[in-house]
Structure 1
């Protein structure tokens, strides 16, 4: 009887042991099947987390274009566009180079190239979007209804950003307010001025729209983005406006070299050069911003 009980006990322990081993294997396999089925369920029913792109921009027109047209288009592509607005022309590039931004949209090609050279950066652009014709403005238009009426020695405020001086000096020469050395074109510096009718006063770019309120300033050369932000209409309020024809100052979508071929950046570039952006620019800015819409291949 005792032997039979011991035999039964050993048989029971052996069965439990075999069940535990077999159950462990089944649990591992079952766990694998659960993970796989869970993965299938996730891919089949739950949407993937959207990609987030952080893009630096100045408020007008860049951030408006991004938020009002591009952001809704990218949401359909599974991309969340986060627009960070800047009031200067320095931080958007340094923050991009440092990896705090994925791209920026605020500057033209000569500014980007000059910044790369001066700061040793390696930024590039993936799309040319628009041109903002630079203008000369005066709130004393009753006295100075056009640029030719500015008197000898008039004080004209310009940006202190040297990367913009070539463009500004070319505009002032076109307006008949100064003369540059032969052959400098849009690459002139203050040292290239050989004759001038006016006195140039250098200020921070964002201060230029307010400068025309200063009784001591007769006129100011203002980028269209700051002009629009201040409620000025370049085509109506300027006393001299830069031509958009053969204009090299195309505002671009810039990014880092290691990021230019990413799928999200390419989708952003495509959205910025779309017919929808063209229509928005033409309807909202009425000729003050000129659509270009070229992908950089």
Structure 2
């Protein structure tokens, strides 16, 4: 039935070509995905537990499983496109992937470049601090001092949170989150600001080397990003998200990556 409605809509758009050339020339990514026989999904591997590289070289994680499940539902092949974070939106906009499914926070700035489906998970920024600061730093407010050096990954909402909430702190930015957090472990920085899921897992893996201040101090909905001007694709994504949240598929995948640590042996 949905395919029928989309077919009718496509005919209607084509019939108005002389009135609205832009609409007639716009092809939904759904059609392109079907023609290509694959769903190309962008992400930046290294964001636990969303997307990671396993010891065998395969990509694994919450987003990876969601993407594979989506491709299966569409009847096409899942094709991962691992991309550096600072170039991930340009990669989408130039057509090298059909969508970004990579733990991307929905922000007004990003929304000016891409369209987002409804949030599929909500997180926030938390803090990993050096053990030497135990009892001295209990919230982000304590770090808002020039005597403290805070680090995070370049181009992330962690960077935005530091600029907004910790303007007085000394800030160092790194290409990857692993580089940044190692600065704290190695005593070269006082605190690491990043997404709660990553920090929770990292602190569990490195017990005694970091203290996790777990209470998030930001509200961050994560969404799947697509190129602007494709309402059919957005409609599909929102409908698909409602479906998997209603039939238990989402909970099964979520529990695998967020409520179990069995997957850790694949990356350690």
Q: Which TM-score tier does this pair reach, normalised by the shorter chain?
A: 0.5 to 0.7
> Is residue 136 from structure 1 mapped to residue 127 from structure 2 by the alignment?
yes
Corresponding residue of 2:212: 238
TM-score w.r.t. structure 1 length?
Answer: 0.55
> Is residue 57 from structure 1 mapped to residue 51 from structure 2 by the alignment?
no
Q: Is the 8 A contact 1:135 1:239 kept in 2?
A: yes
Query: CA, structure 1 residues 67+158, in 2 after alignment: closer, same or farther (shift >3 Å)?
Result: closer
Quote how far apart the aligned CAs of 1:58 are.
3.0
Q: Supply the distance in 1 between the matched residues of 2:204 and 2:243 (Cα, whole angstroms).
A: 26
Q: As a proportion of its length, which structure holds more strand?
A: 1
Quote how far apart the aligned CAs of 1:272 are.
6.4
Q: Supply the distance in 1 between the matched residues of 2:125 and 2:245 (Cα, whole angstroms).
A: 22
Quote how far apart the aligned CAs of 1:169 are.
4.4
Q: Supply the distance in 1 between the matched residues of 2:64 and 2:153 (Cα, whole angstroms).
A: 28
Work out which of the two has the higher radius of gyration on C-alpha atoms and give 1 or 2. Answer: 1
Corresponding residue of 1:216: 188
> Is residue 81 from structure 1 mapped to residue 78 from structure 2 by the alignment?
yes
Runs of 5+ consecutive residues of structure 1 not aligned to the other structure: 1-47, 179-192, 288-297
Q: Is the 8 A contact 2:128 2:199 kept in 1?
A: no
Give SS of 2:182's match: helix
Q: Is the 8 A contact 2:42 2:80 kept in 1?
A: yes
Q: Supply the distance in 1 between the matched residues of 2:215 and 2:149 (Cα, whole angstroms).
A: 18
Quote how far apart the aligned CAs of 1:226 are.
5.1
Quote how far apart the aligned CAs of 1:283 are.
4.9
Q: Is the 8 A contact 1:212 1:219 kept in 2?
A: yes
Give SS of 1:131's match: strand
Corresponding residue of 1:202: 173
Which of 143, 151, 169 is matched with 1:157 structurally? Answer: 151
Give SS of 2:49's match: helix
Runs of 5+ consecutive residues of structure 2 not aligned to the other structure: 1-33, 52-60, 261-268
TM-score w.r.t. structure 2 length?
Answer: 0.60
CA RMSD of aligned residues (A): 3.8
Quote how far apart the aligned CAs of 1:137 are.
0.6
Quote how far apart the aligned CAs of 1:52 are.
1.1
Q: Supply the distance in 1 between the matched residues of 2:64 and 2:154 (Cα, whole angstroms).
A: 30
Query: CA, structure 1 residues 134+286, in 2 after alignment: closer, same or farther (shift >3 Å)?
Result: farther
Quote how far apart the aligned CAs of 1:124 are.
0.4
Q: Supply the distance in 1 between the matched residues of 2:159 and 2:222 (Cα, whole angstroms).
A: 17
Quote how far apart the aligned CAs of 1:128 are.
1.1
> Is residue 102 from structure 1 mapped to residue 98 from structure 2 by the alignment?
yes
